[in-house]
Structures are given as C-alpha cells and as structure tokens.
C-alpha cells in the first residue's frame, strides 16, 4: 500500500500548495512593492498624544520611558502592542475600517494595505470580532486621561461597557504603570498617520450639521 | 515475526485510547469553564476581576485553544488509534512512541494553558499557542504521523478504505498548515498579505485538520454501527476530492472587505460556495446509508450523536454559503453571528461526533457497560437543546448588532441591546455544562463498576 498511501499524502501537499498560492502567495506578490516600515522608521513620527502623555504623567513617564524621543516612542509602541496581544484586546476590537456599513462615517477613512505594511503588523492585528469599536482610527478620539481612566474602570467613563477593567496596569496608589502608559501610547498611535478623523458617531450634532 | 502476528501485542492499544479520551474530556471541562467565565464578562459579572492571569481576554484564548488542541485533537488521536489498526489489521508503529506522544501532547497543552494565562499568547487567531510551544507541536505532529501512517503503509489489505484517504490527506495537511500559520505571519509576512495567511490558517485548521479526520471517523464508525456499507462509493470519491480541492483555497473569507486584494476575496467567496455543493454529496451519502436503518436514530445513541452532528453540518454549510457573500458580510461580520457559526461547527458538528465516539468507545476501553443509559440520554438532550438555542440566540444577536452598527447608532446601543442575548447565551451554556456534568459522572461511575463478564462490542449504548 506504499504507493497508494503516498498518493494521498502527495495529493494533500499539492492541494494545500494550490490553495496557499491562490490565497497566500498571490496577495504577497500583489503587494511586493509596498515598502515594509521598520519600528525605527515608524517611531520617527511622534504623535502629539505621546508628548502629552509625558506632560500628563511626568513622574511615571520618566520612570518608564525617560525622555520623549523616537527611541522611547518605539519602546512604548512595542510594549503597548505586546500588552494588546497578551490581553487578547484583539478578540474584542478589530483594526480595519471596511468600505461598507457606513464604517467610514463611524470610524474614519477606509483602511488601505500600505498602512499595515510595517513591523508592528507582524503578525497583523486585523481581528475578527467587535465587541468594542474598531480601533484603527482611535488616535485622538479621546484624551490620554480618558484612556487611563477607561483602563482602570471602563464603566466609570462608559457606564454600559462590558470591557474588563485592567487594574494591574496601575500601582497601589492607582497611578498608571509602564503598561498603562504603553497601551495608551499604542492606541493613541493607531490611525495617527491619517488626516483628521471625523468625529461623527460620537457627536450626533456634527452628523446633523454635515447633512444640512 | 512481524508485530501484526505477534500474539503478545494487541491490535489496538486500548490503554492509550483511554488515556487520550480522558485527556480530551479534561480539556473539555476546562474549555467549558473558560467559556462560561468569559460569557459572564459580557454580563458584567466576571468572577475573577483584578487577577492578571485570569484576564478575560486571556481566558477567551484558553477557551478556543483548549477546544482545538485539547478537546478535539485528543479525541481525534484516540479515534485514529482505534480506527486505523482495525482498518489495516496492523498495530501502530510503536506503543512506546504512542505514549511518548501522549505525554508530549499533554505537556504542550499545559504549556499553552500556562503560556496564554501568563501573557505569552501569540497574536494568531487559533494559533495563540505561545511561540515557544510551536516547535514542540510540529515535532509532536511528525511523530504522530509516523506512528499512525505506518500501519496504513504496511497493510496487506486490498485497497484503502475511504477513512484512510481522509486520514492520510490530513496527515500531510496538518503539519503544513500549522507551520504556515504560526510562522509566516509571525516572522516574515506583515500586514495585509500576512492577514491573508492568518485567515488561511484559521480556515485550514478547521478544514484540513478537523474536517478530514472527523469525516474519516464517520466513514469508519457509521457503517460499523449500522452494520451496512456506505451507500455510494462514487459519492465518497466526489466528496473526498471535492473537499481536498476546494477547502484549502478559502482563507481570505475571514477578512472580507479588508485591505487584502479584492481578487483573493472573490476567489475565497467562490470557493466557499463551491464547497457547499460538494459537502451536500457527502451528507447525501450518509443519509443514503441511514435509509432503511433510521430506527437506529432512536435505539443507538452514538448514531444519534453522529447524525445530529451531520444535520448541524448541513446547516453550517448552508449558513456558510449565505454568510460568505459580500452582501451578507456587510451586516454579520464582526458580530455574534460568527461566534454562533463557530459554535455550531466546532461543537454542534465535531463536538457531537466526539461525544458519539466517547459514548461508543468508553464502555469498550474501560471494559464495563455504561452505568446509566438514562444519564446518557439526558446528556444528549441537554447538550442538543443548549447548543441549538445558543446558536440561534447568537445568530439573532449578531443581526441586531450588525444592523445597529450599520444604522450609525451609538456603540452603547449595540452593547445594551446585546445584553439579553448574552444572558441567554450564558443560560444555554449552563445547560451544556449540566449535561456534560452528568456525562462525566456517568463515565466515572461506569469505570468504577466491578468488572462484569463483558463481551466487547455487545454493549453499545442502547437508549
Ligand atoms: C458552556 C458552553 C460555552 C460557552 C458559554 C461559550 C462561550 C464562548 C464565548 C463567550 C466566546 C467568545 C465570543 C466573543 O468573542 O464574542 C466563545 C468563543 C468560541 N467558542 Fe465557546 N462557549 C461554549 C462552548 C464551546 C464549545 C464546546 C466549543 C468547541 C468545541 C467552543 C468553541 C468556541 C470557538 C471556536 C470560539 C471562537 C469564536 C469566534 O472567534 O468566532 N465553545 N465561546
């Protein structure tokens, strides 16, 4: 039975490869000319929110990251992303805006592939479930303080929330630790590279205004 | 003297099968409790607030990983260890290797469990097994395939039965899929193409590991229990090759309307709809087999589990063909609809088949008849009612969420209006847990009965 058995093993490899080429390799080929940005390149553009974080929590910030510069920003981003992965935030929040269901009105500009071609999307964090809102246009939607308060107790700022509190991002006195600052820096970075995010859904008046 | 003719060595290593079944049941208990805990988070009653290792997000990953690698993988290994020697009339390569794999696999599960709770999860859906566990899994898979493919390659039977086609293909697929999904997006392919590979992994894990082994086991157990051959060999052929051809090319359907190139999305949609047609042939084949023996649905509990699982399979596939279209995706993607679908597939189909298999095998591996058939029946009904209502509830809740989002209602609305569905989901989960509790008690009580004068195979559970 060696021959026949081998035939099925080979069939398995061949069908796998066929699917892999069609669904995996071709997209890679399509995007082969998109440059892959390294973390060092990304961290050159420091968003305003990160500078503010240093002003909002000077003591904690200095202890965690030192000065505001690309190196410390890079450190904050990769730490924040690690927290995002470890806590499974990506099972409750997606990171892409679709061109349908009015998502551009709700969240902001529709996602494009270039935005994701970087070291912080290795692996990509697209996500497949939204219990909370999409986060790829999160930068600047809320203040740093809002985020810090939100991570301490989501229901203090959003009473209906089912997001878990993350008390271990805080020390005994309730001051944010390195993880809290890092995850805040990370969510405030998401989408900081696109032009002003429309605020429609959080501001119904603005939406009404736009319609007039 | 070859091992096959050695009188000292039994054809099936019953102790090994039993060990894998126990491990599978243990993982099932863990995954149910993890699912319940995470479901409580949605009702704002999370039982362990403030404990980093029991952070709800981490517990969710334990839930899904225990389902895939604990519950399903262990039960499937048990099924393979049972079926392959019987189909080939040859024992596995080595019992020692079998035990090594058993302990290695449980070690992998413990590391995965602790790793995820310790904050070392990998950001690949279904591949959250920490990075340091991945090489172990690959080695484990290679050893497993060596051990199990040996009797198939060495058999003196004429021809290979359908089950063995599925098993062999799965042997080739599983390792490749695991390597691709856990390594490529993690180390080499970022961004949208990386997401395409991650989607392929989510899909292939179900399609190229769970599905073929599941169907292979059905092709083994169903004719055996019904005491008649599979209805149509031609349909078996069409089913196998159709699944082998179309299943591997659908990964991107997990990320429709995403920045992945549109042609890949269209391709995934077309392949997904195509496979539903193929799957119908498999289902027809099995119901053709049942024809004339449908009394077994009443009298034979494993058969009932198997066929209700197949009905669920038909339902999932129908659902799949509808929900995969770009139109329906607009509404249901990201919602609880998909979670309902996932439970219908992983539990309603494969979980049901595994339950049927356990009902069939447990008395044989412990050498005692079932302690109570009434408890078995109660387990079946509680689980079926719980699972079906969970699926319906999540589907309905998903529609509510999807339409609220599309209507630009405040996010709060989509959460608040979901609460009744989330409460109901937890209640259905409790039904499942209750049924499973009865089943586990029954397993335990069965195993500790005094050994009777027992005729193997005579005591397949009659309900
Ligand atoms: C007591 C019964 C169960 C309860 C209460 C439960 C609860 C949950 C919850 C709350 C989620 C997360 C959904 C979300 O993120 O919105 C989930 C996901 C999941 N569960 Fe369960 N579960 C149960 C049983 C099972 C069983 C038996 C299996 C498989 C054998 C299973 C497989 C899955 C899978 C695959 C997912 C991922 C769904 C997705 O990401 O789309 N669950 N479950």
The predicted model gives B323-351 an average pLDDT of 97
Residues in A closer than 8 angstroms to B342, CB to CB, are none
Does pLDDT of B177 surpass 70?
A: yes
Residues 197-256 of B with CB under 8 A from A: 197-200, 202, 204, 208, 244-245, 247-252, 254-255
Residue of A nearest to B116 (CA): A86
**What are the CA-CA distances from residue B310 to residues A10, A201, B283 (Å)?**
28, 44, 7
- DSSP of A86-144: HTTGGGT------SSTTHHHHT-SPP-GGGG-BGGGSS----SB-SS---TT-TTTS-H
Does pLDDT of B221 surpass 90?
A: yes
Query: Domain limits of chain B?
Result: 9-159
Does pLDDT of B6 surpass 60?
A: no
Residues in B closer than 8 angstroms to A166, CB to CB, are 55
Does pLDDT of A206 surpass 90?
A: no
* Peptide bond before residue B452 is cis, with ω within 30 degrees of 0: no
Does pLDDT of B115 surpass 90?
A: yes
- ipTM value of the model? 0.93
Burial of B233 from C-beta contacts in 10 A (0-12 / 13-18 / 19+): exposed
Q: Token pair of B88, please?
A: 């080939």
Helix B73-88 crosses helix B352-366 at what angle (to 10 degrees)?
Answer: 60
Does pLDDT of B428 surpass 90?
A: yes
Residues in A closer than 8 angstroms to B197, CB to CB, are 24
Q: How far, in Å, from the CA of B171 to the mean position of ligand 1? A: 27
- DSSP of B51-114: -GGG-HHHHHHHHHHIIIIIIIHHHHHHHHHHHHHHHHTS--S-HHHHHHHHHHHHHHHHHHHH
Q: Token pair of B431, please?
A: 């039904």
Q: Provide the whole-model pTM.
A: 0.94
Residue A154's nearest CA partner among B53, B426, B336, B411 is B411
Q: Tell me if A112 sits within 8 A of B391, measured CB to CB.
A: no
Name the percent of chain B lying above pLDDT 70. Answer: 96
Q: Tell me if A69 sits within 8 A of A149, measured CB to CB.
A: no
Does pLDDT of A199 surpass 80?
A: no
CB contact under 8 A, A27 and B164: no
Kindly report the protein residue whose alpha carbon is nearest to atom 43 of ligand 1. Answer: B35
Give A39-211's CATH code, choosing from 3.40.50.1370, 3.40.630.40, 1.10.760.10, 3.40.50.1970.
Answer: 1.10.760.10
Give the pLDDT confidence of B341-387 residue by residue, as tens digits: 999 999 999 999 999 999 999 999 999 999 999 999 999 999 999 99
Residue from the list A9, A27, A105 with its beta carbon closest to the beta carbon of B171: A9
Query: Domain limits of chain A?
Result: 1-33, 39-211
CATH number for region B9-159: 1.20.120
């Amino acid at each position: 039975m060696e021959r026949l058995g081998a035939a099925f093993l080979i069939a398995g490899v061949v069908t796998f490869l066929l699917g892999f080429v069609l669904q995996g390799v071709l997209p890679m080929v399509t995007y082969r000319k998109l440059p892959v940005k390294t973390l060092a390149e990304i961290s050159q553009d420091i968003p305003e929110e990160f500078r503010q974080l240093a002003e909002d929590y000077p003591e904690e910030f200095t202890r965690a990251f030192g000065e505001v510069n690309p190196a410390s920003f890079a450190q904050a981003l990769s730490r924040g992303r690690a927290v995002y992965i470890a806590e499974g935030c990506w099972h409750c929040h997606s990171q892409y805006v679709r061109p349908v269901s009015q998502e551009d009105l709700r969240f902001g500009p529709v996602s494009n592939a270039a935005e994701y071609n970087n070291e912080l999307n290795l692996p990509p964090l697209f996500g497949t479930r939204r219990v909370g809102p999409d986060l790829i246009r999160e930068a600047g939607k809320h203040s740093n303080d809002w985020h810090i308060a939100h991570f301490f107790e989501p229901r203090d700022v959003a009473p209906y929330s089912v997001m878990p509190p993350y008390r271990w991002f805080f020390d005994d006195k309730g001051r944010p630790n390195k993880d809290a600052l890092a995850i805040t820096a990370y969510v405030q970075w998401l989408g900081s590279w696109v032009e002003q995010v429309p605020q429609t859904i959080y501001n119904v008046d603005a939406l009404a205004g736009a319609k007039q | 003297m070859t091992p096959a003719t050695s009188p000292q060595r039994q054809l099936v290593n019953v102790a090994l099968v039993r060990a894998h079944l126990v491990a599978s049941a243990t993982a099932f208990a863990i995954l149910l409790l993890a699912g319940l805990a995470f479901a409580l988070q949605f009702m704002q009653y999370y039982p362990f607030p403030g404990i980093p290792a029991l952070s709800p997000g981490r517990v969710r990953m334990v839930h899904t990983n225990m389902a895939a690698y604990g519950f399903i993988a262990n039960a499937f290994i048990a099924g393979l260890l049972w079926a392959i020697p019987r189909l080939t009339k040859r024992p596995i390569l080595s019992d020692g290797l079998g035990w090594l794999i058993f302990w290695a696999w449980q070690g992998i599960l413990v590391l995965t469990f602790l790793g995820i709770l310790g904050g070392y999860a990998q950001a690949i859906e279904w591949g959250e097994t920490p990075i340091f566990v991945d090489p172990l899994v690959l080695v484990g898979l290679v050893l497993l395939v060596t051990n199990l493919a040996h009797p198939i390659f060495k058999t003196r039977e004429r021809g290979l039965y359908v089950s063995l086609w599925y098993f062999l293909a799965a042997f080739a697929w599983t390792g490749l899929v695991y390597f691709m999904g856990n390594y490529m997006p993690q180390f080499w392919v970022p961004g949208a193409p990386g997401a395409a590979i991650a989607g392929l992994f989510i899909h292939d894990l179900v399609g190229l590991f769970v599905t073929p082994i599941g169907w292979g086991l059905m092709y083994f157990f169903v004719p055996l229990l019904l005491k008649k051959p599979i209805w149509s060999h031609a349909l078996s052929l069409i089913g196998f090759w159709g699944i082998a051809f179309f299943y591997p090319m659908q990964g991107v359907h997990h990320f429709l309307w995403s920045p992945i190139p549109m042609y890949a999305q269209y391709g995934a949609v077309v392949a997904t709809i195509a496979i539903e047609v193929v799957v119908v042939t498999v289902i027809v084949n099995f119901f053709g087999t049942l024809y004339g023996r449908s009394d077994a649905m009443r009298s034979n509990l494993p058969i009932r589990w198997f066929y209700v699982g197949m009905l669920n399979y038909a339902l999932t596939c129908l659902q799949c063909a509808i929900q995969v279209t770009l139109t329906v995706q607009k509404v249901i993607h990201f919602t609880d609809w998909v979670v309902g679908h996932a439970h219908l597939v992983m539990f309603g189909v494969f979980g049901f088949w595994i339950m049927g298999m356990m009902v069939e095998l447990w008395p044989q591996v412990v050498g005692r008849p079932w302690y109570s058939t009434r408890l078995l029946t109660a387990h079946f009904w509680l689980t079926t009612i719980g699972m079906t209502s969970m699926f319906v509830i999540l589907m309905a809740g998903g529609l509510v969420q999807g339409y609220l989002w599309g209507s630009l209602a405040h996010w709060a609305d989509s959460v608040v209006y979901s609460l009744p569905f989330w409460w109901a989901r937890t209640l259905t989960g409790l039904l499942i847990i209750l049924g499973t509790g009865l089943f586990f008690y029954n397993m335990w009580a069965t195993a500790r009965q005094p050994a009777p004068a027992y005729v193997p195979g005579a005591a397949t559970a009659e309900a």
